[in-house]
């Protein structure tokens, strides 16, 4: 600092840094840390001194890793409920998506087979988790995860927790009583407390469609080709999942 002036006999004095165990001014004597009998202070096991895993332990660890990642088994036809459960949810979703894509030519048989596989898991929460998270880990080729949910709700109504069938669309009579044109805006009206979470065309087909939200409780859908389409909707009301089916005719 500029205000500090050195006298003629000034010599800088350096105080050594306090070491561990030193008694600082105002402190009492420092007591040693109690140790357990046979404990070496600050001792850590060296990596090269760790006991090595035997061949059997290594094989078990590798096998568990393969089961968790579904190595060589994703898309296999003979994967049962126990093996599906042993996979992580990410790889279980990918396995189901792969089978859905492989068997899209026999889509109804595939939906039945995969729906029964999820039911045989005997784990409703995990089955629901796989269905709702499937889109996060792959893409849809033809069969929608919502169709698996629709199958389970239809065949086993009490299996999936908090999931039920209900009429979500309020203007159902108007939609089913008329024929819409290609690219005409088809209004879907839902209750204000319903959040639309998923949409699917039941039975397959790729007509090209555009679904977009409007004001609260209203959605609009346009179809790019003529035909009679059965659509599936999944909405949420107060933490309950509701599934609805509706037919729309396009000419």
Q: Which residue has the higher pLDDT, 38 or 192?
A: 192
Q: Domain 166-251 adopts which CATH fold?
A: Immunoglobulin-like (2.60.40)
pLDDT of residue 63: 59
Side-by-side strand order, sheet with 186-189 = 186-189, 218-223, 209-213
Six token digits for residue 69: 């990642």
Q: Is 152 exposed, middle or buried (0-12, 13-18, 19+ CB in 10 A)?
A: buried
For 112-149, how does the pLDDT look when each residue is reduced to its tens digit (9 = 90+)?
999 999 999 999 999 999 999 998 887 788 899 999 99
pLDDT of residue 5: 46
pLDDT of residue 40: 47
Checking if the pLDDT of 243 tops 70, the result is yes
Angle between helices 107-120 and 124-133 (to 10 degrees): 140
Gap between the Cα atoms of 204 and 201, Å rounded: 6
Segment holding 212, helix H or strand E: strand 209-213
Checking if the pLDDT of 99 tops 50, the result is yes
Q: How do 227-237 and 195-202 pair as beta strands?
A: antiparallel
For 142-183, how does the pLDDT look when each residue is reduced to its tens digit (9 = 90+)?
899 999 999 999 999 999 999 999 999 999 999 999 999 999
| Contact between residue 84 and residue 68 where contact means Cβ atoms under 8 Å apart | no
Per-domain residue ranges of the chain: 65-161, 166-251
Give me the DSSP letters along 79-120: --HHHHHHS-HHHHHHHHHHHHHHTGGGHHHHHHHHHHHHHH
Provide the phi-psi class of 87: left if phi over 0, else alpha when psi is between -120 and 50, else beta: beta
Q: Is 194 exposed, middle or buried (0-12, 13-18, 19+ CB in 10 A)?
A: buried
Q: Which residue has the higher pLDDT, 229 or 27?
A: 229
pLDDT of residue 10: 43
Candidate ranges 30-44, 63-77, 82-96; pick with highest mean pLDDT: 82-96
Mean pLDDT of the chain: 82
pTM assigned to the model: 0.71
For 3-34, how does the pLDDT look when each residue is reduced to its tens digit (9 = 90+)?
444 444 444 444 555 555 555 555 555 555 55
pLDDT of residue 14: 47
With tokens 């949409």, the residue in question is 199
Checking if the pLDDT of 67 tops 60, the result is no
Gap between the Cα atoms of 189 and 172, Å rounded: 9
| Contact between residue 240 and residue 225 where contact means Cβ atoms under 8 Å apart | no
Six token digits for residue 91: 């790889």
Q: In 3D, which of 157, 141, 160 has the Cα closest to residue 200? A: 141
| Contact between residue 96 and residue 81 where contact means Cβ atoms under 8 Å apart | no
């Amino acid at each position: 600092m500029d205000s500090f002036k050195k006298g003629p006999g000034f010599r800088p004095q350096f105080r050594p840094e306090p070491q561990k165990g030193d008694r600082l001014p105002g402190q009492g004597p420092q007591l040693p840390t109690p140790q357990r009998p046979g404990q070496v202070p600050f001792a850590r096991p060296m990596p090269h001194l760790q006991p090595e895993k035997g061949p059997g332990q290594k094989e078990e660890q590798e096998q568990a890793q393969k089961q968790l990642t579904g190595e060589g088994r994703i898309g296999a036809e003979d994967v049962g409920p126990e093996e599906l459960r042993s996979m992580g949810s990410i790889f279980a979703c990918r396995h189901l998506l792969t089978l859905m894509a492989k068997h899209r030519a026999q889509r109804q048989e595939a939906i039945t087979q995969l729906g029964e596989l999820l039911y045989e898991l005997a784990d409703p929460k995990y089955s629901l988790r796989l269905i709702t998270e499937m889109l996060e880990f792959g893409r849809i080729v033809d069969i929608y995860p919502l169709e698996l949910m629709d199958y389970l709700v239809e065949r086993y109504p009490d299996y999936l927790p908090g999931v039920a069938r209900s009429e979500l669309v309020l203007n159902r009579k108007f939609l089913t009583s008329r024929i819409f044109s290609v690219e005409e805006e088809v209004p879907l009206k839902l209750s204000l407390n319903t959040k639309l979470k998923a949409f699917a065309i039941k039975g397959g087909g790729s007509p090209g469609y555009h679904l977009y939200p409007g004001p609260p409780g209203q959605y609009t859908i346009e179809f790019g080709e003529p035909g009679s389409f059965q659509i599936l909707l999944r909405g949420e009301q107060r933490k309950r999942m509701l599934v609805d089916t509706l037919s729309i005719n396009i000419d």
